[in-house]
Structure 1
Amino acid sequence: MSADSPSIMVRASYPIYLAETLSESAQYSIVQLLDLLPANGIDSNDKTDLSQPTLIIKNMVDGRGLACPMPLLKTKVALRSVVAGESLYVVATDPNSQADIMAFCQQSLQTDNPNPLALTINQATLSDNAVAKDSPSKYSVDTIYHFIITKTDSN
């Protein structure tokens, strides 16, 4: 798996690459959504640290407009295609998704899972009209919950 993207994005202090296996439309959507996150960290005193582990986004789950538990169920299915060291980008508009995904990642740490999940980014942002302009009626909620889940290696 190669992470040779034309550019690297830094969001919430993490260098982020998009996998070449993502379609152009998926890459475009991901870039638009990641642009809603702060570029230099959540805390204004936090400096961008390129020594942070690089996140390689292998897949995306767009759970905007879906009610609980659908974003979590789609996340579980999408994680099947992610291997250790790769990440899944999940966006949702249902506030219950935040608790569901946090609990799911915590549960993976407490079991004998060979690839526990690290919830690297968990942040809510207000949507930008540019993100939802293609189908404004589909996304009537202004809050978008962003998650980047990384499959780790327990060894």
Structure 2
Amino acid sequence: MSADSQLPIKRASHSIYLSASLSDPEQQEINHLLDLLPVENGGPDVGTETKIDEEQPLLNIKRFVDGRGLACPMPLLKTKVALRDVAAGESLYVVATDPNSQADITAFCRQSQQTQTSDYLGLIVNEVTDLSGNSTSLQRFATIYHFIITKTDSN
């Protein structure tokens, strides 16, 4: 765990740390959005201290892109800009509501693996949460596409 990280959040079979460089409102929004993702095997919830499984991938979210309400290609363009501030070993959390963003961001990450650039983008989490059946929900968007992209050194 790096010095600027907090307690792990277990979601989608990963332990996720939020960088201290994220603002408090961003951290709160990210925690709210991560709560929408499935918890694997009844794992701990946000803020619960547990021993981290050595086999479980650790993700350090350094940047956040909120692409909710933006039409294609804006979520992808904002993702590309935000990745400039993400170093190897760090992650970017992206949420979007445009269904095209799932194909766009997936293809962008796959393309990074095929080019000879110094950075490799691993699409670690690619989840869809559908809140349309939740009649008590006051969510502004029924379907949210979640992406956690980790930049790694290709060497």
TM-score, with structure 2 as normaliser: 0.84
Residue matched to 1:8: 8
Contact kept, 8 Å, 2:4 with 2:21, in 1: the verdict is: no
Identity level (%): 61
Counterpart amino acid of 1:4? S
Q: 1:51 aligns with which of 52, 55, 60?
A: 55
Report the residue type matching 1:121 in the other structure.
V
> Where does the alignment leave 5 or more consecutive residues of structure 1 unmatched?
42-47, 133-138
Which structure 2 residues correspond to residues 63-102 of structure 1 after superposition, within 5 A? 63-102=67-106
TM-score (normalizing by structure 1):
0.84
Q: What secondary structure does 1:116 align onto?
A: strand
1:28 CA displacement:
0.1
How far residue 49 of structure 1 moved from its aligned partner, in angstroms, is 5.0
The runs of 5 or more residues in structure 2 that have no matched partner are 42-51
Equivalent in the alignment of 2:107: 103
1:120 aligns with: 124
Aligned length: 140
4+ aligned runs moved over 4 Å, structure 1: none
What do residues 74-96 of structure 1 show as CA deviations (whole Å, max 9, x unaligned)?
00000000000000000000000
The alpha-carbon deviation at position 115 of structure 1 amounts to 1.1
Tell me, yes or no, if structure 1 residue 149 matches structure 2 residue 149: yes
